Chain A
Amino acid sequence: MNLSLLILIPLVAAIIVLLSRNAQQVKWISLLASVAQLGLSLFLLSAFMGERANGNVSQMLFEQRYSWFAPLNIEYYIGVDGISISMILLTAFVVLAGVLVSWNVEKMTKEFYFLLLLLSLGAYGFFISLDLFTLFFFLEIAVIPKYLLIGIWGSGNKEYSANKLALMLMGGSALVLVGLFAIYFMSGIHSFDMVKLSQVHIAIEVQKIFFPMLFVGFGVFTAIFPFHTWVPDGHSSAPTAGSMFLAGISMKLGGYGCMRVATYLMPEAAKEYAPIIVILAAIAILYGAFATMMQKDLKYINAYSSVSHCGFVLLGIGMLTKTSIEGAVMQMVSHGLMTALFFAVIGMIYERTHTRKVEELGGLLKIMPFVCSVLFIVGLCSLGLPGFSGFVAEMTVFMGSWQNPEMFYRVATIAACMSIVVTAVYILRAVGKTAMGPITNQHFLELKDAAWNERLAAIILVLGIVAIGIAPFWLSDLVSPGAELIMSRIPTVIIN
């Protein structure tokens, strides 16, 4: 299995898209590329499981390395383990759905798809990189397309949102950059190789200074508490596919980085700062949930609830037990699929009714049965109904958190649990008002239900959600060796 294909396919597709002159052609090429990527990811999954079943226990599989900037020991070094594969799968699902949902984009179609492909290229590259330089390179590649996507095709106060997003994310990556240099020079081996770095010890004083930089830097991407403000603005202004990518993929870059780079390479500091992370995560969870209650715009509702849901990712990382880290990864996958679907549905509703205000909507179930059914599914998933991925993921995080026996962590867990009630309130209220009740606007009666591309996109994402919800074991089996590896670096493991 050649991992580089995961980067090459979007790259080639992006170049072809840029050169072609026909909008129809552009769409089909993008669709073809994203289907190919999904196929490739599924193949990767089966190949990976096959290797593991054959007893291949090496930390990373399908590795490739080429020297890139030899004087600085920089390599193009890629490989995957279970955690990266689950992220790649998530990316493939969301990208395919995003391409399908944007089938009707008429303004600068070519550029739109080019940027979508570029963004997905950054995400794939990020998740397979084992060299910190390559990782950072792809992380930054994924930022600017978002700026343009929001700024050109967005709605509302789009220039402001686009600027805010780009600058905050760049601020995050600036902190990451400094942290990476510290790892490179202070580890004493002058290497960006993550596997090698995980075998050396970085002095605790260094960790204490630079762990917060790395964690907060990546944390900005995943909406860590005081730096979450780009999320509502960015999501609400972005075009549908932009929001899907942003919430579904881009926020996961941060969670993955927090886990894979910050916690894994600086374990002592992670332990040291765990209480602060947990407090911030709990604040994000509760604050996000309560803030959602006050929102009147469907996109804002989903954006703030994303802050709350991504808080679970950080909570899982901060709790530092094997199960909680596993839960964090599962929550990333689950939230990615769910929120992408949510944004897709909101996009479908907005495209038809031209409003996202909950109070102006009503009774859509009778008019658009398919769209509203999907809205129900995603709502129920979001509030954690068993059978969908949300329940599995949040449950795992809570279980893992509870395993941490200290009083402080237990209290934080209980506080975080309470958000579930709030979630139920806002989800049921929004979904109920939108889909049921009297039809608020006679003009709605003429609206059509979802078209083929929208149906397909929704079905793909629902499949993902249900697959995790009904059979969570394959995902947890996939993730758990990686989580164990991260835990093995944490000093004085608290509990299994």
Chain B
Amino acid sequence: MNELLLMKSELVVTAIIFILLFIKINDITSNETVLKIINALLVLNVGAGFCCMDVTGELFSGMFKTNVLIAFEKNMLNIGTLLISLLSYEWLKNHRHLPEFFVLLLSSLLGMFFMISSGNFLIFYLGLELSTIPIAALCNFDLEKKQSSEAAMKMIMSSAFSSGILLFGISMMYGTTGTLSFAELPQYLDGSPLQVFSFILLFTGFAFKLSVVPFHLWTADVYEGSPVAVTSFLSVISKGSIIFIFLTTLYNAFAPMAEVWYNLIFLLSVLTMVIGNLFALRQQNMKRFLAFSSIAQVGFILIGISGGGQNGISSSVYFVLIYIFSNLGAFGAVQLISSFSGKETIDSYKGLYQTNPLLSWVLTISLFSLAGIPPTAGFFGKFFLLSSGAEKGNYILITIAALNMIVSLYYYLRVVRAIFMDKNEQPIASIKGSIYEKAGLLICVIGIIAVGLYSHFYEYIYSLSIF
């Protein structure tokens, strides 16, 4: 029984996938009923995640392991998936292949669960592939749009390429150490050039998935072409899961090589923040804009990852939690506007406040949270990330980061300015979202406010963040 509980998140998601397949095969009801069922199942899934969270243990001789932190991370991803499903209601309602969408989405989620829980490079690679390949299919889900197919093509090419590099790194690592297990690896690491080289290959694979500069070039096109639901899944859930496993590998398997990866991350963090911000400055399309801003956000998370210790881990995980709410809030608003009016450019948002005051506030709060303005949670998240950098004594890095926050504020304010200040003869008409979208946005806003101000969240994550 206990063994089953260890894998409960994976089992629940698998069960949901089977239910969806059953619905598809029998083709019983209309889309709206299916969506109701799916949302109910996803709520159950979130609920199930929170029971028996404190089960800790290993399976398959250390290949699969779980603890409270990992369970909590899975819950975060579950919540994110539920939010995406709620926020995409309008788009999904009329989609021809609704069950397939969720089968693919949940398969990807399942892959992430295995990846986060992995204790061995083999199962890690398996999970990674399971999480990436369905996303490539999902990118193509705007069936009428050429851009969508292009995005899918780019996604599958770039992820295949990065997986190749990653796999190359793993195989060389196996060649030099003779083990694939995270737990055994540290004792065989002696910092020989071949090991460093293979580590860098591995690192590059991660960097690709995280769209860290200079491996970010696929991001903007894929984000722009994909349906918003998939874009938000890619930029929030997928990135979040990679960050979790990145933390685990760095602090468990590669702990002895700390000085190698510390310098690497330092460099990439600065590059990512600066380049992400500079590119975001000039974007017109909201999806592209959020894509580049999310690249810059990853730069910030890298500060936490390089910070190390309990502080660094907890601030990174905490930031991902905040990032889920803030970015999904922003994507949710963009999605709603896009599916009602078809408009996605910043210029078309001019005068939005006149017609859609509430939606404008939601988008504004989300953007402020991304920019790190109090009292939103983003402020706390960034503060803790920078504090973990400062703990390490890396004041150059945090000064650069703090200055980058000004640049990022500039482009977030561009959107705010369009919404509140600029005049428009024909603003986007008043949007009446369904109850699902309203609920989704409400959860995002509550999350943005509460996760920051209510310090219990951070203290809880901090107490879990021990490797």
Contacts and interface: CB of A to CB of B under 8 A. Distances in A.
Interface stretch (B12-20, B123-131, B405-413): B405-413
A10 interface: no
Contacts of A182: 390, 395
Interface string B438-467: 000000000000000001001100110000
A184 to B, nearest CB: 7
Interface residues of A, number: 35
Contacts of A148: 416, 420
Given A69-B455, A184-B390, A141 B413 contact: no
Contacts of B403: 171, 174
A473 interface: no
Contact of A181 (B373, B386, B405, B421): B386
A333 B462 CA distance: 43
Given A69-B380, A174-B403, A209-B395, 14 more contacts: A67-B455, A69-B458, A140-B373, A143-B373, A162-B421, A167-B410, A174-B405, A177-B386, A178-B390, A181-B390, A181-B395, A182-B395, A185-B390, A185-B391
A151 interface: yes
Contacts of A69: 380, 384, 455, 458-459
5 contacts: A71-B311, A71-B462, A140-B379, A166-B409, A184-B387
Most buried by B among A74, A152, A177: A177
A181 B398 contact: yes
A147 interface: yes
A181 B396 CA distance: 12
Contacts of A140: 373-374, 379
Contacts of B459: 69-71
Contact of B387 (A67, A170, A175, A181): A181
If over half of A's interface residues share one DSSP class (helix, strand or loop), that class is named, otherwise mixed; here it is helix
B451 to A, nearest CB: 12
Interface in B377-426: 379-380, 383-384, 386-387, 390-391, 393, 395, 398-399, 402-403, 405-406, 409-410, 413, 416-417, 420-422
A141 B374 contact: yes
A75 B393 CA distance: 23
A80 B403 CA distance: 32
B368 interface: yes
A158 interface: yes
Nearest to A213: B399
B314 interface: yes
Contacts, number: 88
B62 interface: no
A408 interface: no
A80 B465 CA distance: 37
A162 B416 CA distance: 12
A174 B400 CA distance: 10
Interface string A124-154: 0000000001000110110110011001100
Given A70-B455, A185-B391, A174 B406 contact: yes
A167 B406 contact: yes
A415 interface: no
A130 B393 CA distance: 25
Interface in A195-234: 209
Nearest to B354: A108
Contacts of B311: 71-72
B433 interface: no
A141 B403 CA distance: 18
A143 B383 CA distance: 17
Given A166-B413, A185-B393, A151 B373 contact: no
A355 interface: no
B410 A163 contact: yes
Contacts of B455: 67-70, 74
A159 interface: yes
B390 A137 contact: no
A294 B405 CA distance: 36
Interface in A361-390: none
B379 A163 contact: no
B383 to A, nearest CB: 8
Given A68-B455, A69-B455, A159-B421, A147 B413 contact: yes
A167 to B, nearest CB: 6
B57 interface: no
B375 interface: yes
Contact of B409 (A72, A74, A170, A184): A170
B420 A152 contact: yes
Nearest to B310: A71
A209 B383 CA distance: 21
Most buried by A among B374, B405, B416: B374
Contacts of B416: 147-148
A137 B420 contact: no
Given A140-B374, A163-B413, A181-B390, A158 B421 contact: yes
Contacts of B387: 72, 181, 184
Interface in A160-176: 162-163, 166-167, 170-171, 174-175
A216 B455 CA distance: 31
A152 B421 contact: yes
A210 B405 CA distance: 19
Contacts of A167: 406, 409-410
Nearest to A174: B402
Contacts of B421: 151-152, 158-159, 162
